[in-house]
C-alpha cells in the first residue's frame, strides 16, 4: 500500500512537473512573440505615457462610459475622438515628419462636438453623492474639452510642420572655442562703436537707441563673462572646446537667434534699414549666423505640454514656457511658429473683472441742487443775480470690441434770475438752460485715462421780465427810453445768447473735468502703486487680453504674467443673472505667483516660510505665531506647491522632500488640503477646509503627520470671502458676495444683493 501510494505520488509529481513544464514553455512562447512584436508595443506604450493627453482622455472616457440618457448623443463622438487621439499619438512618436490623416478626422469630430455644445443645456449635478451618479457634463465642461482639443490640433499641426524641416542642430556649436568667442566679441564691439561714436548728435541718439534694441552692451558683458576660466566645469562639450560649458553655448546661441530676428524684422522702416546697412553690422550678422542653433526639439516640448496639462504645476509651467520661448526665438521659421502657437494657446486671460452698468450708477453722487449768487459781465454790461443749478450724473457704456470705454454723462439744468445795469436803466431777466455733458473714461493697463469733456446746450431760453429807468416819473420820456432799451435788448439778444452759451459750456466743461480728475486721481495712484508692487516683488506685467465693452457690462480680461510663465487656457465660468460684478481668477495666476517664491528644494521652518509670505504679500497677519512653527520642511525640487481649482474645491498640493517632526524625519510625500466655500456662523461667505487632509506616499506615521498638518491647516481657520470694504462702507450695505464657482481651473465670485 505504501509502495502504491508512493507510486501514485510519483505519478502526480510527474503530472505536476509536466504541467509546470508546459506552462513554462507556453510562457516562453509568449515571450518569443512579444520579442518579435514587443518593440512596437513598447514604443506605443511609451508614446502613450509621454505624448498622450491623459487628463483630456479621462474627461472623454467619463462621458463615453456614462449611463445617463442625456449623454447618448455624445458617446459615439467621444469614442471616435479617443480612437483618433491614440492613432495621432502613435503617429507623432514614430512618423512625425509625415502628414497625419487622423488629424483631419479629429478636426471633423471636433466640429461635431461643437455642434452638440451649442445646444447643450444640461447642468452638472451638484448632489453630494455626485461621484456615484452617471457623468452629465455641464456646458462649461464641454467647452473646456472643445478648447483642449482645438489646442492640441493647432499645436500638433505646427509640430508636424516643424518636424518636417531640417533645423539647425545644437551640435553645430560643439566645435566652438575661445577664439570663436574672441571673434564674436570683437565684431560686437565694432557694432557698438559704430552706434555710439558718430559725429552728429542726432545719429548718436539713434545709435544709442539701436544699442538698447540689440542689447550690444549686454552682449559684451556676457561674452566677457564666458571668457573667464571655469574652476570645475560641469558637462564639457567636447575635447576641442574644453573650457566652454554647454549652458554657455546654449545661452549665446539663444541670444544670437533673438538678435538676428531683431536685425531682420519685417517691421523695420527703410530709414532704419539704411542705418543698419554698414559693414560692421553686416560682418556681425555673418558671425551671429554661425552661432544660431535650435536648442530644443518639438517632440520634447510636446512631452512638457502634456505634463503641464495634467498637473498645472509651477515646475511644469516654467519648463514649458522656457521651451516655448526658445522655439519662438529659433532661426527656423517652423520652429518659431510652434513656439508662438504654444504661447497663443496658453496665453488667454488669467484674471477677469466684470462690472455692470447698474453697479456704477448705484454709486454715483445723487442729484445735486445748488443756489448761489453770481456776478458777471455780459455784452460789456455788469450783470449779477442768483443762479439755481440742478446736476444729475449717469454712467453709460460705449460698446467696443477691444476697449473698456465708459462715459460719464452729466445733465445740468440752469435757472438764472439776473439784473444788468445800463445807462439810466435796470433790466431784470430770467433764463433757463439745459446742458448735456459727457466725459469719456477708458480703463487701460496704466489705469484710468480720460478725454476732455464735451458739452452742448440742448435748450436755452431767456426773457426780459422787468425794466426800470431813471425817467419813470416822466411818462413821455420813460416810454421813449423804454422803447429804445427794449429794441436794443431784442437786437442784441442773439449775441447775448451766444455769449451766455459759450460761458455756460466753458463753465460746465471745466467743472466736470476738475471733478472727474479729482475723483480719479486717488484711484490711479492706487493702480500705479499696485503695478509697481507686483513688478518689484514678483516681476509681473499686465496686458489686455480681449477685453470688451457691452451696453450693460464692462468685461475686462487681463493677462498677468512674468517670465517663464503661462496664462489661462480653459473657459471661464459664466456670469450668473443677478450679479452686479464678477471676479474670476485662473489657477495659473496663483501657480505663477507661487513659482516666484522659488520653493523648489528650499529648506526652512514653517515659521520662516510664513514670514516670507507675510513680507511678500504685505499681510503681517500671516506670520502670527502658531504651534508647529518650528517644524522644519524641505520642499520637493519638482512642483513643490500647486493650486488647482476644480469640482467646487480649491486643492492645495504640497510636495515635501523631507519633514523633520520631533526626532523623526519623513521623506518624499505629498500633502493635499482642500477648501470649499461655506457660510460662517454670521452667514458670511468663507472658505473652510473640506474634510480630512490627504497624505500621498506616506505609509508610516500617518496619524502623527495628519495631526501635525491638521494644526498647520486647522479646520477652524476660515478665510473670509467678503471684502472689508463691503462691511465698512455704508454705501455698500445692500451688497455681499455670492455665486461662488470653482471649476475648470477658475475661481469666480460675484457681487450680489444681500437678499
**Exposure on the CB side of residue 540, measured as CA atoms within 13 A:** 27
CA distance 623 to 609: 9
pLDDT score, position 201: 66
**How much of the chain, in percent, has pLDDT values that exceed 70?**
89
Burial class for 581, CB neighbours closer than 10 Å (0-12, 13-18, 19+): buried
The chain-wide mean pLDDT, for the chain, equals 84
User: Which residues, 6+ apart, have CB-to-CB distance to 20 below 8 Å?
Assistant: none
pLDDT of the residue at 128: 40
The SS3 call for residue 542 is strand
Query: What's the whole-number mean pLDDT along residues 362-380?
Result: 85
How large is the average pLDDT for residues 318-335? 89
* Whether pLDDT at 41 is above 70: no
> What's residue 688's pLDDT?
95
**Range scoring the smallest mean pLDDT among 79-83, 273-277, 357-361, 535-539:** 273-277
222-231, 430-439, 582-591: which has the minimum mean pLDDT?
222-231
pTM, two decimals, is: 0.80
Of the two residues 210 and 238, the one the predictor is more confident about is 210
Higher pLDDT, 5 or 614: 614
- Check whether 186 has a pLDDT greater than 70: yes
Q: Show Cβ contacts of residue 473 under 8 Å, excluding neighbours closer than 6 positions.
A: none
Cell output for 114: 461643437
For 388-429, write each residue's pLDDT tens digit: 999 999 999 999 999 999 999 999 999 999 888 877 788 888
Residues 136-149, mean pLDDT to the nearest whole number: 87
* Residue-wise pLDDT tens digits, 628-684: 788 899 999 999 999 999 989 999 999 999 998 878 888 999 999 999 999 998 889
Cβ proximity of 249 and 237 under 8 Å = yes
Which alpha helices (H) appear in 134-269, and where do they start and end?
Answer: 139-163, 178-196, 201-214, 216-226, 246-263
Residue 10's pLDDT band, with cuts at 50, 70 and 90, is: very low
Residue 336 grid coordinates:
518659431
Grouping H, G, I as helix, E, B as strand and the rest as coil, residue 399 is: coil
pLDDT category, 698, cuts 50, 70, 90? confident
Q: What is the pLDDT of residues 232-272, one digit of tens each?
A: 444 444 444 446 788 888 888 888 888 888 888 878 888 88
Amino acid at each position: 500500500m505504501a509502495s502504491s501510494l508512493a507510486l501514485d505520488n510519483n505519478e502526480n509529481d510527474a503530472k505536476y512537473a509536466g504541467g509546470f513544464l508546459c506552462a513554462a514553455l507556453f510562457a516562453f512562447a509568449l515571450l518569443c512573440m512579444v520579442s518579435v512584436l514587443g518593440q512596437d508595443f513598447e514604443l506605443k506604450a511609451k508614446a502613450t505615457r509621454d505624448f498622450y493627453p491623459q487628463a483630456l482622455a479621462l474627461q472623454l472616457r467619463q462621458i463615453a462610459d456614462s449611463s445617463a440618457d442625456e449623454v447618448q448623443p455624445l458617446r459615439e463622438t467621444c469614442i471616435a475622438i479617443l480612437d483618433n487621439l491614440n492613432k495621432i499619438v502613435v503617429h507623432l512618436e514614430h512618423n512625425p515628419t509625415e502628414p497625419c490623416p487622423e488629424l483631419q478626422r479629429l478636426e471633423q469630430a471636433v466640429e461635431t462636438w461643437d455642434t452638440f455644445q451649442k445646444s447643450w443645456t444640461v447642468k452638472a449635478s451638484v448632489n453630494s453623492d455626485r461621484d456615484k451618479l452617471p457623468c452629465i457634463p455641464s456646458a462649461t465642461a464641454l467647452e473646456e474639452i472643445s478648447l483642449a482639443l482645438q489646442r492640441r490640433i493647432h499645436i500638433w499641426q505646427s509640430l508636424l510642420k516643424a518636424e518636417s524641416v531640417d533645423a539647425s542642430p545644437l551640435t553645430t556649436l560643439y566645435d566652438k572655442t575661445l577664439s570663436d568667442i574672441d571673434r564674436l566679441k570683437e565684431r560686437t564691439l565694432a557694432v557698438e562703436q559704430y552706434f555710439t561714436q558718430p559725429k552728429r548728435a542726432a545719429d548718436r541718439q539713434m545709435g544709442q537707441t539701436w544699442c538698447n534694441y540689440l542689447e550690444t552692451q549686454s552682449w559684451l558683458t556676457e561674452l566677457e563673462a564666458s571668457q573667464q576660466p571655469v574652476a570645475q566645469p560641469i558637462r564639457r562639450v567636447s575635447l576641442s572646446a574644453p573650457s566652454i560649458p554647454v549652458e554657455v553655448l546654449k545661452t549665446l546661441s539663444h541670444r544670437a537667434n533673438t538678435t538676428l530676428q531683431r536685425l531682420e524684422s519685417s517691421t523695420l522702416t527703410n530709414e532704419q534699414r539704411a542705418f543698419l546697412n554698414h559693414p560692421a553690422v553686416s560682418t556681425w550678422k555673418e558671425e551671429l549666423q554661425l552661432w544660431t542653433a535650435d536648442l530644443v526639439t518639438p517632440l520634447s516640448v510636446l512631452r512638457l505640454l502634456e505634463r503641464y496639462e495634467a498637473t498645472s504645476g509651477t515646475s511644469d509651467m516654467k519648463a514649458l514656457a522656457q521651451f516655448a520661448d526658445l522655439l519662438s526665438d529659433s532661426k527656423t521659421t517652423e520652429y518659431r511658429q510652434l513656439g508662438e502657437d504654444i504661447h497663443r494657446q496658453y496665453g488667454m486671460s488669467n484674471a477677469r473683472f466684470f462690472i455692470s452698468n447698474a453697479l456704477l450708477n448705484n454709486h454715483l453722487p445723487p442729484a445735486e441742487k445748488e443756489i448761489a449768487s453770481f456776478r458777471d459781465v455780459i455784452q460789456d454790461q455788469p450783470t449779477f443775480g442768483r443762479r439755481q443749478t440742478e446736476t444729475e450724473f449717469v454712467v453709460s457704456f460705449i460698446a467696443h470690441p477691444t476697449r473698456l470705454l465708459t462715459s460719464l454723462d452729466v445733465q445740468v439744468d440752469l435757472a438764472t434770475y439776473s439784473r444788468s445795469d445800463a445807462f439810466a436803466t435796470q433790466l431784470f431777466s430770467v433764463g433757463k438752460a439745459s446742458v448735456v455733458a459727457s466725459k469719456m473714461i477708458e480703463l487701460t493697463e496704466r489705469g484710468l485715462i480720460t478725454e476732455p469733456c464735451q458739452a452742448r446746450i440742448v435748450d436755452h431760453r431767456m426773457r426780459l421780465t422787468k425794466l426800470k429807468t431813471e425817467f419813470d416819473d416822466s411818462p413821455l420820456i420813460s416810454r421813449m427810453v423804454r422803447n429804445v432799451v427794449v429794441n436794443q435788448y431784442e437786437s442784441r439778444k442773439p449775441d447775448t445768447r451766444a455769449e451766455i452759451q459759450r460761458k455756460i459750456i466753458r463753465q460746465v466743461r471745466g467743472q466736470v473735468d476738475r471733478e472727474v480728475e479729482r475723483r480719479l486721481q486717488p484711484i490711479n495712484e492706487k493702480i500705479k502703486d499696485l503695478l509697481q508692487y507686483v513688478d518689484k516683488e514678483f516681476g509681473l506685467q499686465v496686458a489686455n487680453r480681449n477685453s470688451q465693452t457691452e451696453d450693460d457690462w464692462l468685461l475686462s480680461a487681463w493677462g498677468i504674467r512674468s517670465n517663464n510663465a503661462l496664462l489661462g487656457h480653459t473657459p471661464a465660468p459664466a456670469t450668473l443673472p443677478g450679479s452686479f460684478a464678477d471676479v474670476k481668477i485662473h489657477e495659473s495666476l496663483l501657480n505663477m505667483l507661487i513659482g516666484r517664491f522659488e520653493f523648489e528644494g528650499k529648506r526652512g521652518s514653517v515659521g520662516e516660510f510664513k514670514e516670507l509670505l507675510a513680507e511678500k504679500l504685505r499681510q503681517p497677519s500671516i506670520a502670527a505665531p502658531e504651534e508647529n512653527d518650528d517644524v522644519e520642511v524641505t520642499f520637493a525640487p519638482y512642483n513643490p506647491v500647486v493650486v488647482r481649482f476644480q469640482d467646487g474645491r480649491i486643492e492645495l498640493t504640497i510636495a515635501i522632500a523631507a519633514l523633520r517632526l520631533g526626532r523623526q524625519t519623513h521623506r518624499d510625500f505629498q500633502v493635499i488640503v482642500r477648501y470649499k466655500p461655506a457660510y460662517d456662523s454670521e452667514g458670511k461667505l468663507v472658505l473652510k477646509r473640506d474634510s480630512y487632509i490627504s497624505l500621498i506616499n506616506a505609509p508610516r506615521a500617518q496619524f502623527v503627520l495628519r495631526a501635525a498638518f491638521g494644526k498647520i491647516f486647522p479646520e477652524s481657520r476660515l478665510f473670509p470671502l467678503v471684502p472689508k470694504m463691503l462691511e465698512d462702507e455704508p454705501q455698500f450695505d445692500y451688497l455681499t458676495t455670492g455665486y461662488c464657482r470653482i471649476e475648470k481651473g477658475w475661481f469666480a465670485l460675484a457681487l450680489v444683493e444681500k437678499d
